[in-house]
Amino acid sequence: MAREKLAQAKADAAKRGQLPRREPRRKGPRREGGDPQLFGRAIADLLADRGWERSAAVGGVFGRWADIVGPDLAAHTKPESFEDGEVMIAADSTAWATQVRLLARTLVRRLNEELGDGTVTKVKVRAPQNAPRPSGGLRVTGSRGPRDTYG
């Protein structure tokens, strides 16, 4: 009796145009456009679709600056921008700016290890800018400023 009912159900489905599958089911997960994805994979796909891979990688390097250059150098420098293969680094003193200039080749090599060969071609260093000289009660009238040291 069960076989007769199954045959009747198949005949009814054939009349409606809804025949059961003839091909075997695929094993494993099947992904379609609306199916959930792993978060990391979804972000990677978004970055690829928008062309943001390099910007995201550079942002990651800027975020991990202390791990890449070491805590001593990171305490006195910070990356500011990346454009056309050129990284702009700000130093908090002229001494550290000079140190970064001496380490420029090493920094380019280290950054290219993180970002891929040829991504960084040059390191530019910005030393601190001189602030305007204060005026007011802290100045001696008639002094010549720093040139007045040895009379």
For residue 133, pLDDT over 80 is answered with: no
- The band of 151, judged by pLDDT with boundaries at 50, 70 and 90, is very low
Its pTM stands at: 0.56
- Residue bearing the bigger pLDDT, 60 or 38: 38
Model pLDDT, residue 75: 92
* Contact in structure between 123 and 108 (CB atoms under 8 Å): yes
Smallest Cα–Cα separation from 82: which of 105, 102, 99, 57? 57
> Can you say whether the dihedral through the CA atoms of 64, 121, 110, 90 is positive or negative?
negative
At 84 the pLDDT is 85
> For all residues of the chain together, what is the average pLDDT?
79
